[in-house]
Amino acid sequence: MSNETKQTAVDYIISEISHPRWMALTSNEIFKIYEQAKEMEKQQIIDALLFGDVLSPNMAENYYNETYGGGNK
């Protein structure tokens, strides 16, 4: 497994709306953030399903923590 920490779709949205520029975003920019988050979530679901058959629950949780940082940001 890679040591690269990825961002969950929820973390991505939170980081975007926490930025001071949030209030100045156009509706088109907000829609792009939404679409990016949906695409990230889709890929995360696909990844989970692909790994689902080969990982035990403990291994799956370790995979999540290694890949997404386990919420320790």
Contacts with 34 (C-beta within 8 Å, 6 or more apart), sequence order: 13
Q: In the prediction, which pLDDT does 21 show? A: 80
Q: Where along the chain do its domains lie?
A: 9-71
Looking at residues 42-71, what average pLDDT do you find?
A: 70
Q: In the prediction, which pLDDT does 32 show? A: 92
Mind listing the pLDDT tens digit for each residue in 13-31? 888 888 888 788 899 998 9
Mean of per-residue pLDDT scores for the chain: 78
Classify residue 11 by burial, with Cβ atoms within 10 Å: 0-12, 13-18, 19+.
Answer: middle
pTM: 0.60
Q: In the prediction, which pLDDT does 37 show? A: 92
